[in-house]
Amino acid sequence: MFIAANQSKRFLFLQGPPGPFFRELAKALEDKGMETHRINICGGDQYDWPEGSVNYRGSLRKWPIFFDRYVRTNNITDLVLFGDCRPMHQIALRMARMRGVHIHVFEEGYIRPDWMTLERDGVNGHSPIERNPEVILSQAKWLPDVPNLPRITASFKRRAHDSYWHYYHVVTRKFAYPFYSSHRQGSLTLDGIGWLIKFARKGLRARQAEKTLKLIKRKKYFLFPMQLSGDYQIRAHSPFGSMVVAVEYVLESFARFAPADAVLVVKEHPLDSSYRNWRATIARMAKKFGVADRVHHIDGGDLGELASDAKGMVCVNSTSGTLGLEVGRPVIALGEAVYDVNGITHQLGLDTFWTQPQYPDAKLYRAFKRMIHAKCLVRGGLASKSGVAILVKSSVRRLLSEDGLPVMPVRELSKEETKLILRA
């Protein structure tokens, strides 16, 4: 239900994903009669939103007062941003809450592809989403099934293009934003060089992956999909701090407690452009723990197929865990994950997972999916023009709707059902 015209909202946008999504979303909100604002905090932001925005060039120390004055002066009612762990976003969130501003946080989709996360107040480890199995089942009774819709067009080149130009302008306009420090770890320049090396080794990586896939085809293997060390999922929502520590923790447990005929496949993250040679690092750790012949690194392969054939999945808190849950495979989350619910994931620790994995309750997971899609996800993507257009449309509907209503209901809800959902 859209808000009435005399209840116009005033949206303030901070950093979004690289590319035009936030600007196009603002235009769509303006078409609905809403007022929109934008504060750029780096050259990449200014490139993505060059007009009708304000450029903040000051220090982190002065940011709280600047942000608060802007919110107060412009009577901001709603704050929109991508990710809630970036230093300047964390400050803005705290200041916004003191002013009673509604907070809307975008993030990569909890369930992929074709969906993005959009939650009130926080995402991932900060998500307010319900994790009590009984409440999930109760709420899901009133929610529609997840719609079976056509796939959304996606292209890696589109994401790469948007990211390249965003970060190019972060670097080249550094003089204009002298105090800005990227939330990303490491050097953006070295990161770019890392991508060039990764592309140069594309053929070798493909051959190594094919060899590994043939090797594990008839073996009982567990799957461990890696995440990016610089991701806040690892830095803020896990006990490890880096993937090196997480890998060592998993390999040591596997060596001590997994059956002698079990195999562990460690899948490298496809967007990892670091200089670390994960193949060599994993081989060295496996040798240290005496399981060199039972641990295999793979940089390639279809994650969905690997998850489907695995005996179980070990995740820190990667959304890839939902691929295993989708096909009824046991999954354990070692960090904070929205899907880490008693009855859905293994709850008895990693050491028992290798021999006594707890399988997901299919009914509970279906209910969880209905709740997640209704309350946390918006349809669309960032990797194509059509995907962004769909994402804009579904995001506008969510941003201008009453809290908690499904974005794309399959059936209309009665007033009584709606009240029960909002009350839960």
For residue 126, is it within any domain? yes
pLDDT score at 418: 43
For residue 415, is it within any domain? yes
**H/E stretch holding 117:** strand 115-120
pLDDT score at 146: 86
For residue 211, is it within any domain? no
What domain count does the chain have? Answer: 1
User: Strand 377-379 to strand 35-40: parallel, antiparallel, or no bridges (unpaired)?
Assistant: unpaired
pLDDT score at 198: 66
pLDDT in tens, 167-206: 999 999 999 999 998 876 666 566 666 656 666 666 666 6
pLDDT score at 200: 60
For residue 360, is it within any domain? no
Q: DSSP string covering 174-236, please?
A: GGGSTT---SSSS-HHHHHHHHHHHHHTHHHHHHHHHHHHHHHTTS-EEEEE---TTSHHHHT
Beta carbons of 208 and 214 less than 8 angstroms apart: no
For residue 251, is it within any domain? no
pLDDT score at 191: 67
Beta carbons of 353 and 91 less than 8 angstroms apart: no
For residue 102, is it within any domain? yes
For residue 332, is it within any domain? no
Q: Looking at the DSSP assignment, which residues form a beta bridge with residue 331?
A: 313
Within the chain, which residues score under 70 in pLDDT? 1-7, 184-206, 273-274, 402-424
For residue 194, is it within any domain? no
pLDDT in tens, 237-278: 999 999 999 999 999 999 999 999 999 999 998 877 667 788
Q: Write out the residue range of the structural domain in which residue 44 sits.
A: 5-131+141-154+373-423
Q: What is the pTM of this model?
A: 0.86
CATH of the domain at 50: 3.40.50.720
DSSP reduced 3-state for 45: helix
pLDDT score at 405: 44
Q: How far is CA 151 from CA 147, 194, 343, 380, 387, in A?
A: 12, 31, 29, 10, 10
Please name the residues in contact with 182: beta carbons below 8 A apart, sequence gap of 6 or more. 42, 170, 188
pLDDT score at 30: 97
